[in-house]
Amino acid sequence: MAGKDDIKKERFTSEKEDLARLNKDLEARILELYSLYNISKVLNLSFAVEEIFNGTIHEIGKTLKIDEFCIMLIDEKCQELAIRAWYPDPGTLPDVRFKIGEGISGMVARTGRPAIIQDVSKEPEFLFYKGAITDIGAFMCVPLLGKRENVLGVFNVHKTQPNAFTDNDIKFFSEVAEQVAIAIEKAIIYEKTKEASMRDELTRLYNRRYFFEYLEKESLRADRYNKNFSILMLDIDHFKNFNDKNGHIKGDNVLKQMAQLIGNKLRCSDVVARYGGEEFIILLPETQKKAAIIAAEKLRKAIEDFKYEGGENQPEGRLTVTIGVATWPDDAAFTSELIDIADKALYLGKKQGRNRVCSKDDMQLKKDEI
């Protein structure tokens, strides 16, 4: 009789332990669902990508109770992953990019499958964000998938200690990534619609309105992080002569071809706009004057070497440009003044014979000669 009682007691104890474990798992799942609900609610208030990153990342971090994570999105222009948000401190945002397939993040972006590295010191493919972030022991990367299962980017979670992720983490953070991806895809569609109104109809470059908005943002960013940036003002030499000799249709073709050439010769982060008529304006982020002059000279030479139909009718027998360069904060303390300096440098280049690059330094040299 005692044996039967012992069996019943053991069974009761086992069932009680199973029930307690189930209750604990249920409580954890309810907490996860509540966290997902809060994250979804916060994300749905954002209509632009920058709003998601600036306004909700901190809330996501607090809700998830994790020390550090980042979001990388695919730059469609150059097909690279770029860091767009960093928690807990956006001020530490490293300027790191990965090619698709490069490192763990690049591999997840290519395959669309999540990855957990419990001890990154044993993983030769782990790049520590190319040396920018070294205090990582365990790492999880989850893809951000759009509605068509297309990869928008990746959601990376860092732990300082190895073997810190549980079996349930990959499922939970995949659900978090799904909510983030829904918000980002919605914001990207919104921004593309908005951007369409900021494009020049002929060249498909940005228009002046967009450029000035971007310039103001870049000046604030450069000021905050103590960075340089440069402006290139570019004008086609003797363009009226080209239109008079060849007609406006060929003139429009030149503007379209030149816009494409300029875009191909610059970095993904550079911003090009049609300033008006035959003028283009270019913003080079994190670029000092010497590097900007080198970039301008390469661009001038590429345009000079390109064979445009009708270019043989130009005074020099080919189509050329003159470029004015100005650098912030070296040449000006205000963006409007910076554009004015670039324009004056361009005008000096025209006076000196065209087909050249000039900067404020050349303007000073001209004054000294007088």
3-state secondary structure of 285: strand
What was the pLDDT predicted at 38? 57
Structure tokens at 230: 């440069």
CATH topology of domain 208-369: Alpha-Beta Plaits (3.30.70)
Residue 93, classed as helix, strand or coil, is coil
**Per-residue confidence (pLDDT) for residue 229, from 0 to 100:** 96
Q: How far apart are CA 203 and CA 268, in angstroms?
A: 18
Tokens 């300082």 locate to 160
Predicted local confidence at residue 20, as pLDDT = 55
What is the C-alpha separation between 179 and 152, in angstroms, rounded?
13
Cα–Cα distances (Å) from 223 to 227, 228, 259, in that order, read 6, 8, 29
Phi, psi at 281, each rounded to 5°: -130, 140
pLDDT digits 0-9 by tens, 276-315: 899 999 999 999 999 999 999 999 999 999 999 999 999 9
CA distance 354 to 362: 14
Structure tokens at 369: 């000669």
The residues, ordered by sequence, that sit 6+ positions from 16 with a Cβ below 8 Å of its Cβ are none
Q: State pTM to two decimals.
A: 0.60
* HSE value, Cβ hemisphere, 13 Å, CA-based, for 63: 21
Write down the residue that tokens 């029930």 correspond to: 19
Query: What's the pLDDT score for residue 191?
Result: 77
Q: Is the peptide bond preceding residue 162 cis, with omega within 30 degrees of 0?
A: no
The identity of residue 240, as a single letter, is: K
E strand residue ranges, 163-303: 229-236, 271-276, 279-285
To the query of whether residue 50 is one of the catalytic residues in this protein, the response is no
Exposure on the CB side of residue 260, measured as CA atoms within 13 A = 8
Intervals of CATH 3.30.450.40 along the chain = 42-196
State the Cα–Cα distance between residues 156 and 176, nearest whole angstrom: 11
Residues of the chain with pLDDT under 70: 1-49, 52, 54-56, 63-65, 90-93, 365-370
268 Cβ neighbours under 8 A, 6+ residues apart: 75, 77, 78, 80
Q: Which of 32, 80, 278, 279 is catalytic?
A: 278
pLDDT at position 29 is 46
Q: Give me the pLDDT at residue 306, please.
A: 95
Name the segment(s) of the chain with CATH classification 3.30.70.270. Answer: 208-369
The answer to whether the beta carbons of residues 103 and 66 sit under 8 Å apart is no
Question: For residue 279, how many other CB atoms are within 10 A of its CB?
Answer: 17
| Fold held by 42-196 | Beta-Lactamase (3.30.450)
Inter-axis angle of helices 169-196 and 2-43, nearest 10: 10
